[in-house]
């Protein structure tokens, strides 16, 4: 109650006319907009205009463009019916020069948008990975309302929209790239080739279309002569750069995977950019001292003191056992760990494997324990494996430490309720694969020994480093090396992001991007395009 009183008091100080009749203010608002428009925050909108003498708030072109650009990102991301419909209403009102109607709808929409930005850190995972932003959003917090009122009173709404609503520099850069992509003058027609593969020396049937599709993502095509039909060295270099931007094998050959990315429409690329721009609201990507695993990129990066200390490939969960998106902290490295097998893996993988081959236990160095708290062992030869129902199995499995252990020689401890951690692996050959979604949810790290050594050097005491040097990790099980200071670990999902001035794209391995696309997406984009063309002629 105290916070509400402070807000109302601040509002009355900021706008002396706050005491105007509530019903008159509401009636005035009703008279300015069509009956078909239902305001989400009508009371607050009426108060805002009553206290400011019913003056226009949205009178600056830069303010209008900045806010509509934010709404366009949400509309193109296909995340919100509310913000899409409001954006259409605003463009229609602007095209018809209905200034006060535009003003009131924009103000009401801004209040919903402020609420959206406040709720996205906690609710964004449900929205950005197959869900939608709800049509009805609560009132913004008292603090946010007060900030907005001050921005309006001090004629700083443009600054407020630019600095407060776009949450990070990364998001602002992606939004700028999105706007650039949509303003492209290319026809961007479908690129079709007559053979399964095209490589250096081959004939290209539509080189101009190919060059346009390479250039649209920022590839330097200035040295390519589009008038010739030859797949020359300059074209090969450009194709390699294109492949690198999409996480493909950079072999310079136009095959099925490269063709898929070449033929994605501008509208679909825009949707991927917009969706991933909004996802940036979820992650704390401050690169001062943090570890980030981007699941679709199959890559781990570790920043220490603001510099990249470690960058390596990882293996993530397969589609049926997705790696969860979490924020956690690394607090220790465990040398030569044993593996307490999760029940899901025991039921779905290990027991069926034993039914096929009862020597599986011995081959993989498993032992069976009486229950999840006991150290009492159970003789596997005494069990009738063919009669066992995996879901009813009362015991647990543990795998002995050693080079063949599923966790390898290093486990990087990250306590979390999902029991997801980073670890080494004996299956090193899998890191050579282009797509690396093979695990049951945990993250396998290439060059885990180098990461461990780096952490020992920078995160453990001199006394602990000497202890590590003195002991043989192959013979010592579960030797825990605590870190002096924990490391924030963010497991994220970005299928598009900025890197070295260019947008990187990756395959949507869990189909999260696909789940966010509605059946009416193409019609929505077409509608916005028509309105933009109409406004550009004015």
The catalytic residues are 423, 442
Q: Angle at Cα 94 formed by Cα 517 and Cα 11, nearest 5°?
A: 90
Nearest C-alpha neighbor of 509 from the set 429, 433, 425? 433
Q: What is the DSSP string of 413-477?
A: E---TT---EE--S-GGGGGSSS-EEESSSEEETTHHHHHHHHHHHHS-HHHHHHHHHS-TTT--
Under a CB-based contact definition with an 8 Å cutoff, are residues 224 and 241 in contact? no
Instruction: Report the distance separating Cα 411 and Cα 480, nearest Å.
Output: 9
Residues ≥6 apart with Cβ < 8 Å to 182: 76, 266, 270
Instruction: Report the distance separating Cα 300 and Cα 148, nearest Å.
Output: 39
Instruction: Report the distance separating Cα 209 and Cα 196, nearest Å.
Output: 17
Element at 406 (helix H, strand E): none
Q: What is the DSSP string of 191-241?
A: P--SSS-B-TT-B-TTHHHHHHHHHTTT---TT--TTS-B--HHHHHHHHH
Tell me the backbone φ, ψ of residue 50, rounded to 5 degrees: -65, -40
Under a CB-based contact definition with an 8 Å cutoff, are residues 93 and 56 in contact? no
Instruction: Report the distance separating Cα 339 and Cα 255, nearest Å.
Output: 41
- At residue 278, the 3 state secondary structure works out as helix
Instruction: Report the distance separating Cα 302 and Cα 312, nearest Å.
Output: 9
Instruction: Report the distance separating Cα 332 and Cα 313, nearest Å.
Output: 21
Residue 483 Rama label (left phi>0; alpha psi -120 to 50; beta): beta
Residues ≥6 apart with Cβ < 8 Å to 94: 64, 102, 535
Q: Which residue bears the tokens 């969960």?
A: 317
Residues ≥6 apart with Cβ < 8 Å to 202: 195, 230, 231
Under a CB-based contact definition with an 8 Å cutoff, are residues 307 and 442 in contact? no
């Amino acid at each position: 109650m105290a916070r509400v009183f402070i807000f109302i008091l601040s509002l009355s100080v900021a706008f002396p006319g706050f005491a105007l009749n509530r019903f008159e203010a509401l009636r005035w608002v009703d008279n300015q907009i069509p009956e078909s428009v239902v305001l989400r925050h009508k009371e607050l909108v009426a108060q805002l205009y009553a206290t400011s003498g019913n003056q226009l708030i949205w009178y600056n072109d830069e303010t209008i463009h900045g806010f509509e650009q934010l709404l366009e990102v949400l509309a193109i991301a296909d995340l919100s019916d509310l913000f899409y419909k409001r954006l259409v209403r605003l463009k229609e009102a602007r095209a018809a020069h209905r200034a006060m109607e535009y003003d009131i709808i924009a103000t009401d929409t801004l209040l919903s948008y402020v609420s959206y930005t406040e709720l996205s850190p906690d609710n964004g995972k449900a929205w950005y990975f197959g869900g939608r932003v709800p049509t009805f959003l609560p009132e913004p917090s008292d603090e946010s309302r007060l900030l907005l009122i001050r921005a309006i009173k001090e004629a700083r709404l443009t600054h407020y929209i630019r600095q407060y609503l776009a949450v990070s520099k990364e998001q602002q850069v992606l939004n700028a790239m999105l706007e650039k992509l949509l303003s492209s003058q290319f026809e961007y027609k479908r690129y079709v080739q007559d053979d399964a593969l095209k490589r250096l020396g081959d004939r290209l049937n539509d080189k101009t279309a190919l060059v346009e599709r390479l250039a649209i993502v920022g590839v330097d095509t200035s040295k390519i002569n589009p008038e010739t039909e030859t797949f020359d060295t300059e074209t090969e270099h450009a194709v390699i750069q294109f492949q690198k931007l999409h996480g493909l094998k950079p072999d310079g050959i136009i095959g099925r995977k490269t063709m898929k990315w070449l033929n994605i429409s501008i509208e679909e690329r825009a949707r991927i950019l917009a969706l991933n721009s909004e996802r940036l609201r979820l992650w704390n990507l401050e690169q001062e001292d943090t570890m980030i695993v981007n699941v679709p990129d199959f890559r781990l990066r570790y920043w220490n003191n603001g510099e990249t200390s470690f960058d390596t490939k990882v293996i993530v969960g397969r589609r049926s056992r997705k790696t969860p998106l979490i924020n956690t902290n690394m607090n220790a490295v465990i040398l030569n760990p044993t593996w307490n097998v999760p029940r899901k893996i025991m039921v779905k993988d290990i027991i069926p494997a034993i039914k096929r081959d009862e020597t599986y236990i011995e081959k993989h160095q498993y032992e069976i324990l009486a229950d999840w708290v006991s150290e009492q062992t159970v003789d596997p030869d005494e069990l009738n494996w063919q009669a066992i129902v995996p879901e009813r199995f009362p015991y647990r499995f543990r795998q002995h430490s050693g080079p063949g252990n599923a966790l390898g020689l290093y486990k990087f401890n990250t306590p979390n309720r999902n029991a997801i951690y980073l670890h080494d692996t004996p299956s090193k050959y899998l890191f050579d694969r282009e797509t690396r979604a093979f695990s049951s949810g945990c993250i396998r790290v290439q060059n885990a020994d180098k990461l461990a050594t780096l952490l020992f050097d920078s995160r453990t005491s001199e006394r602990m480093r000497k202890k590590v040097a003195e002991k043989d990790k192959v013979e010592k099980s579960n030797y825990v090396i605590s870190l002096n200071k924990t490391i924030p670990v963010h497991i994220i999902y970005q299928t598009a992001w900025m890197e070295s001035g260019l947008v990187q794209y990756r395959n949507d391995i869990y189909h999260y991007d696909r789940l966010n696309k509605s059946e009416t997406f193409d019609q929505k984009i077409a509608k916005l395009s028509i309105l933009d063309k109409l406004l550009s002629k004015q």
